[in-house]
Amino acid sequence: MRNLKSLALCVAAAMLLAACTDAPPQSQVPRLTFDQIKPIPLNVSKIEIIDRFRGGNAPNHVELLMKQPPEQAVQELLKKELVAAGPSKIMRIYIDDASVTGEKLSVTKGVTGMFTSEPGERYHAVIDIKFEVAELDAPDIVTHHANVHADRTKEVMKDATLAERDMAFFHLDEALMEDVDNELQTQIKTIFGLNP
């Protein structure tokens, strides 16, 4: 009887150990590093980044589900790409929107739906940034300003795994940052760049 109890305990322990080792691996999502970014020397001596975006509380906001939300990614991009290289002036950069919202899509129901490959969710990401330049001795008087806007949409299949959704978030963020980079390399460089 004791041998049977011992055997049962051993089997139970082995099953528990197997269940632990068979757990699905954590989602491995790349991180945007912006190592390939070409810095832009600006005709200012100081740059301040002010994050005014307050999101994540509304039910359809999904920024907090992302490994590297746009709010974080765009700050890293700005810090790497924009370089204060002028003799004077201050640039203030206001991040007004860095939201990602999601919506459920209408999908095919019933038996037909089980065999239909179709998107089940759509995510919309937005970046809005305002740039202001002022003299250091008169910081409240804005002499130049510009705005950068970018938005992207990504659909995710209805049967997507958590890892697949995380990768969709990554590609959405990557495309959004490419759009911001294009604006920085054109508009912001033209308006605020340090002339060679």
**pLDDT (tens digit, 9 = 90+) per residue, 43-77?**
999 999 999 998 767 789 999 999 999 999 999 99
**Res 9: pLDDT:** 45
CATH number of the domain at 155, please: 3.30.160
49 close to 96: Cβ distance less than 8 angstroms: no
195 close to 157: Cβ distance less than 8 angstroms: no
Structural domain contains residue 73: yes
pLDDT-derived band at 4 (thresholds 50, 70, 90) equals very low
CA distances 59 to 75, 109, 133, Å, are 24, 25, 36
168 close to 156: Cβ distance less than 8 angstroms: yes
Phi, psi dihedrals of residue 140, rounded to the nearest 5°: -85, -10
Structural domain contains residue 110: yes
Structural domain contains residue 53: yes
Residue 194 pLDDT > 70? yes
106 or 9: which carries more pLDDT confidence? 106
Structural domain contains residue 108: yes
**pLDDT (tens digit, 9 = 90+) per residue, 105-156?**
987 887 776 767 888 899 999 999 999 999 999 999 999 999 999 999 999 9
Residue 13 pLDDT > 60? no
Q: How many domains is the chain built from?
A: 1
Structural domain contains residue 1: no
CA distance 193 to 171: 29
**Res 148: pLDDT:** 98
Structural domain contains residue 10: no
Structural domain contains residue 174: yes
Structural domain contains residue 75: yes
**pLDDT (tens digit, 9 = 90+) per residue, 158-192?**
999 999 999 999 999 999 999 999 999 999 999 99
Average pLDDT over residues 70-99: 97
The boundaries of the domain holding residue 66 are: 30-192
Strands, E assignment, 40-88: 40-42, 46-51, 82-84
